Amino acid sequence: MRVKMFTDGAARGNPDGPGGYGVVLQYTDTKGNLHEKELSEGFEKTTNNRMELMGVIAGLEALNRPCEVDVFSDSQYVIKAFQDGWLDSWQKKGWKKSDGKPVLNVDLWKRLLAAAEPHEITWYWVKGHAGHPENERCDRLATAAADALK
């Protein structure tokens, strides 16, 4: 089963304000019917990067069987970690960056790796706030979830 997953995160007053994530999952069945599911959640005190990670985590954790997943995100933090090998390097160095400083959000990176494990994932970066329909939809979900906590 092939799933398209669009994600976005938002934080108001980054790093100590409310934030949220938004996810749109899309699946086309064998009859050509599109099925969609939206996910969002707000958090009282968070950062934009944590919300970007939580969007992907929530989307992957919502899948109830191994899938081929196309993940679309405007977060270079998330996409480059996979595409450019950052995660492999961080893990080999005991969750330290190339400058020797600790990797931030290790708890969420570990959760994301566990959520990703059963799936075959292709990662795509999309430019944020550039009119991409699903990315804009995820942004509205994320910001609404954050604003609900103000």
**Residue 129 is among the residues annotated as catalytic for this protein:** yes
Per-residue pLDDT tens over the stretch 22-67: 999 999 999 999 999 999 999 999 999 999 999 999 999 999 999 9
Note if the pTM is more than 0.85: yes
Point out the catalytic residue in the list 17, 41, 59, 74: 74
**Residue 107 is among the residues annotated as catalytic for this protein:** no
**Residue 88 is among the residues annotated as catalytic for this protein:** no
Would you identify the CATH topology of the domain 2-147? Nucleotidyltransferase; domain 5 (3.30.420)
Which residue in 28, 44, 14, 37 sits closest to 104, CA to CA? 14
**Residue 74 is among the residues annotated as catalytic for this protein:** yes
**Residue 8 is among the residues annotated as catalytic for this protein:** yes
What's the rounded Cα separation, in Å, for the pair 132 and 20? 19
Compute the C-alpha angle 97/101/103, nearest 5°: 55
**Residue 41 is among the residues annotated as catalytic for this protein:** no
